[in-house]
């Protein structure tokens, strides 16, 4: 069952993430909120971190953060498949 976005629950989740999450989990949100240009941000290199970053961008978009639009256009187009890291490692 899909639940409508709730700003209060998202804030609570962000507080938990800030307390227990990895630094890379917070870096995208901090960069968007600080107004850092997308081209000046070091996009995560691991598949896990890129997935988490895209989720963060989607959460920010749901909270109607206007500054996230350029970030989603650059990093969360949805049509591009993630490269297979295993294939990249083994040629």
Higher pLDDT, 58 or 90: 58
CA distance 35 to 37: 6
- pLDDT tens track for 9-67: 888 887 887 787 767 667 888 898 888 998 999 988 888 888 888 888 888 888 766 77
Domain boundaries, the chain: 7-78
pTM: 0.65
pLDDT at position 25 is 65
The Cβ of residue 28 has, within 10 Å, a number of other Cβ atoms equal to 25
Tens-place pLDDT, residues 40-54? 999 888 888 888 888
38, 71 Cβ separation under 8 angstroms: yes
Q: What six digits make up the tokens of 41?
A: 């941000």
């Amino acid at each position: 069952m899909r639940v409508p976005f709730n700003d209060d629950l998202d804030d609570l989740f962000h507080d938990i993430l800030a307390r227990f999450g990895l630094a890379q989990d917070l870096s995208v949100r901090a960069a968007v909120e600080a107004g850092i240009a997308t081209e000046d941000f070091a996009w995560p290199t691991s598949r896990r971190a890129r997935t988490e970053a895209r989720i963060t961008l989607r959460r920010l978009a749901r909270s109607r953060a206007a500054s996230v639009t350029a970030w989603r256009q650059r990093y969360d187009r949805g049509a591009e498949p993630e490269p297979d890291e295993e294939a990249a490692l083994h040629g």
